[in-house]
Structure 1
């Protein structure tokens, strides 16, 4: 059995070692091995959160592509307590992989900063206490759901453990955000990252490629924004359609056609060539369980897709950052703005009483 591991000098130049290792990009798995000295696996946790574009705080209906069952095993079965989910996940991963050095508690479904901040601290600290093999947290959220109280909490936690805050940016273009029913604009993302940067936790951006109406040039503008805003990590996903969503219905009817495999491969390589070399690439594609996925079927072949992306880098003789141009104002010199979290959301986080839906206590 593997023993617990600790973060290894996170302020060093380890994020550029991938270049000397002749890799095409700064892959997440290898980066974690360098940081922790062994294989680290994430375990998805569903704490029962909702989203402000679901409950009416800013909109209703949720994102048009989103069915939480498609990316969270825990929402496809009875919602279990956080402690039980994490313990079960650790056991499952340990059986699947040899020599796992540690685990990251990944709060994935819905908006995982959209609850009273005292309750957020309780659930986050619970996940860290389940096992000494849990080496950190990853928290998925929206850019309009990180008031100062949440950022201060994550800053405190980052002084004790590894913390990654994953923002669903998706795109910088307003038509795409409106099409998704995100109910926030890109200015919200700029405000959030400019307030989050430099607090000791990792800032990750989730981007979707292949949004209807977005040209290749528009997707490259999103790539440039990754460096301009100073994200530490990125997740790239192809737009895919699952059952039970508005997007799924549009794909079935033929109203929307999703990006083809070869176009996606070239777009990913173009995108990564334009981001800073030190940015960690956490994912290069997305998928869903086969019984939920409508299209594209090619995204189920994750290993061959990643290999094709690596081969395209080799064919071009390029790598991540080959076409990166530093912005006029470096990210660490950008001023920290005032908190522009919408009041309707702030009320849910800073003022509201405990949410009974959260599953925290261990029985």
Structure 2
């Protein structure tokens, strides 16, 4: 298909809905509107989970960029119960928007599949029971924390609800994963994505652009890997540094430098040109509260950044998928592998019991 057809308004009959709407990439908000018939908003939930690279199951220290206060408002105050968080979050969204068709309970900070699976089901069901306006779940997790028991649970919930599982891929390159102290490999991501495919729930991968030591070529290799693996959705983040983290100190010391604004804009467009047109783009940048953010300051200007990314697409006369080349083996034809979840992680999930730190209703 001629990529300039959309830009010049000459839509073809085999175009995807977002292309027919004249968009430059498959935006998350529009995808939700098409699915649910109106505005659907996420409500962030912090159930008090930890991570296996924090509690010692795999390593300690956590990701070098991570301070959950900067990712989730719930970690900046005393943690409330899940039911209270959902109620106040829904109320806040209703005050902001005149009409909201539904809400997605977004289990966001830390690793939200890292608990006994029976307790996971209780927490997730609690969200659905909280308010009939909650139409789905989004569950943020690590690639190595998705054993078969959790996949089966997500598939069970997806029979009646919208469910999205978000994997922290970050990069396909092991040196970058090691630098971040992720304590997992890219093979863990491949294993979880291929086992999660066609189970009824959506899969989303998080990518960080601007990892120290990664060139533009490295980032484009990650884009081509995303195209090969074929997740349902993707989130792109610029690497940013916040206070009280190892990365933050490296930036303050001048040993690590953040990506420049125009470089990031060009890289986002380059990346999206190479992924499948069907992939939903949930995010194109990340930021942190100003009081925590060290660098880059430009990431606070999210609306302006979005407009500049769109302007770069228009300047090139391209859109998402313009350079996409289907892999030799389509994602739908990839074999389903055996579960390779680390035994130390399985030991925390495939057991009976409860973690008392999780903020349940009672």
**TM-score bucket (shorter structure):** over 0.9
TM-score (norm 1): 0.95
Do 2:94 and 2:100's aligned partners in 1 also have CA atoms closer than 8 Å?
yes
Deviation string 1:132-188 (CA, Å, 9 cap, x unpaired) is: 110000000000000000000000000010000000000000000000000001011
Do 1:15 and 1:278's aligned partners in 2 also have CA atoms closer than 8 Å?
no
How far did residue 243 of structure 1 move?
0.5
| 1:303 paired residue number | 303
Do 1:105 and 1:138's aligned partners in 2 also have CA atoms closer than 8 Å?
yes
- 1:19 to 2:19 alignment: yes
Question: What root-mean-square deviation, in Å, do the aligned CA atoms of Structure 1 and Structure 2 show?
Answer: 1.2
Where do residues 67-106 of structure 1 align in structure 2 (5 Å cutoff)?
A: 67-106=67-106
Q: In structure 2, what is the Cα distance between the partners aligned to 1:34 and 1:94?
A: 20
- 1:336 to 2:336 alignment: yes
How far did residue 361 of structure 1 move?
1.3
Give unmatched runs, 5+ long, in structure 2: 1-12
- 1:149 to 2:149 alignment: yes
- 1:132 to 2:103 alignment: no
Q: In structure 2, what is the Cα distance between the partners aligned to 1:189 and 1:135?
A: 27
How far did residue 129 of structure 1 move?
0.8
How many residues matched? 350
Do 1:313 and 1:319's aligned partners in 2 also have CA atoms closer than 8 Å?
yes
Where do residues 171-320 of structure 1 align in structure 2 (5 Å cutoff)?
A: 171-320=171-320
Q: In structure 2, what is the Cα distance between the partners aligned to 1:165 and 1:294?
A: 30
Q: In structure 2, what is the Cα distance between the partners aligned to 1:337 and 1:14?
A: 33
How far did residue 191 of structure 1 move?
0.5
| 1:361 paired residue number | 361
Q: In structure 2, what is the Cα distance between the partners aligned to 1:41 and 1:211?
A: 30
Give unmatched runs, 5+ long, in structure 1: 1-12
Q: In structure 1, what is the Cα distance between the partners aligned to 2:102 and 2:14?
A: 19
Where do residues 38-77 of structure 1 align in structure 2 (5 Å cutoff)?
A: 38-77=38-77
TM-score (norm 2): 0.95
How far did residue 22 of structure 1 move?
1.1
How far did residue 16 of structure 1 move?
2.1
| 1:346 paired residue number | 346
Q: In structure 2, what is the Cα distance between the partners aligned to 1:34 and 1:217?
A: 35
Deviation string 1:114-139 (CA, Å, 9 cap, x unpaired) is: 00000000000000111111000000
| 1:321 paired residue number | 321
**3-state SS, counterpart of residue 136 of structure 1:** strand
Q: In structure 2, what is the Cα distance between the partners aligned to 1:134 and 1:21?
A: 27
Deviation string 1:94-123 (CA, Å, 9 cap, x unpaired) is: 111121111000000000000000000000
**3-state SS, counterpart of residue 309 of structure 2:** helix
How far did residue 360 of structure 1 move?
1.1
Deviation string 1:13-38 (CA, Å, 9 cap, x unpaired) is: 99920101111100000110011000
